[in-house]
Homo-oligomer: A and B are copies of this chain.
Amino acid sequence: MSVSVENFVKSVFKLENTPGSDTRTGSIAASLGISSAATTDMAQKLALRDLVNYKKYQPISLTPKGRRMALSLIRKHRLWETFLHKVLELSLSEIHQEAELLEHQTSEFLADKISNFLGNPEFDPHGDPVPDAFGNLAMDYSISLSEALPGKNYTLSRLDSSEADFFDFSSQNALNIGCAVSVIKQYRNSNMTEIMVNNKSILLNSDISKKIYLTTNHNHDE
């Protein structure tokens, strides 16, 4: 399977699972950085290979086979990110681009070896769940900081970005996964969020707060 096909399928999966997004030709084109014409072309070809469902002028969806492919790729991506961060000590801002390339050249056999070496991690260094070999994902109860309730205490569980700038900002402000976050105030009109981290107050705009995810401080098995 070519890199282009794999990235296409992964893009559809991500858009299908992102609230507020759709899987229309233009959206997929934008997310892949290619033209709408190329997207239509690829959708038609992949429909013949039973990877996507395609009907003219309609949103594209993944078949079960396409979904399996996407989850396998996401698994490889997140395993590589975990490996690069924990073993080779690359920073959060460095791991994405390397994993983006390696994921396409990773056999299932090798993915299992990496997973096993890492102790079959459930979450990657960004807090994203790592699918297991069957495509199952750990449950994620996190909520976005932009939706969090003022006055409550949370734990930072996920940094949802693939941009180096975002990770540079978060690490410089000690916004690390696992740290305690108190939400002071939500400025609904200006879309700003004030939080307290390490006894320091930080005011964040929504570009940032949308990408930070939190879990409430209690056990979900209770």
Q: Chain A 98-132, CB within 8 Å of chain B: the 1/0 string?
A: 10011011110110011001000000000000000
Chain B residues, Cβ within 8 Å of A137: none
Q: At the interface, yes or no: A143 with Cβ under 8 Å from chain B?
A: no
Shortest CB distance A105–B (Å):
4
Q: Mark out the residues of chain A between 57 and 91 whose CB falls within 8 Å of any chain B CB in the assembled complex.
A: 84, 87-90
Shortest CB distance A91–B (Å):
11
Q: Which of B90, B107, B109, B110 contacts A113 (CB 8 A)?
A: B90
Shortest CB distance A117–B (Å):
6
Chain B residues, Cβ within 8 Å of A117: 87-88
Shortest CB distance A84–B (Å):
8
Chain B residues, Cβ within 8 Å of A94: 109
CB–CB A88/B113 < 8 A: yes
Chain B residues, Cβ within 8 Å of A88: 110, 113-114, 117
Chain B residues, Cβ within 8 Å of A102: 102, 105-106
Q: In the complex the two chains form, what is the Cα distance from A101 to B107 in whole Å?
A: 10
Shortest CB distance A160–B (Å):
24
CB–CB B107/A105 < 8 A: no
Shortest CB distance A196–B (Å):
35
Q: Which residue of B lies closest to A87 (CB)?
A: B117
Chain B residues, Cβ within 8 Å of A89: 113
Q: Which of B87, B105, B113 contacts A105 (CB 8 A)?
A: B105
Q: In the complex the two chains form, what is the Cα distance from A89 to B114 in whole Å?
A: 10
Q: In the complex the two chains form, what is the Cα distance from A88 to B113 in whole Å?
A: 6
CB–CB B107/A98 < 8 A: yes
Chain B residues, Cβ within 8 Å of A114: 88
7 contacts between A and B (CB under 8 A): A84-B110, A88-B114, A90-B110, A102-B102, A102-B106, A104-B105, A105-B105
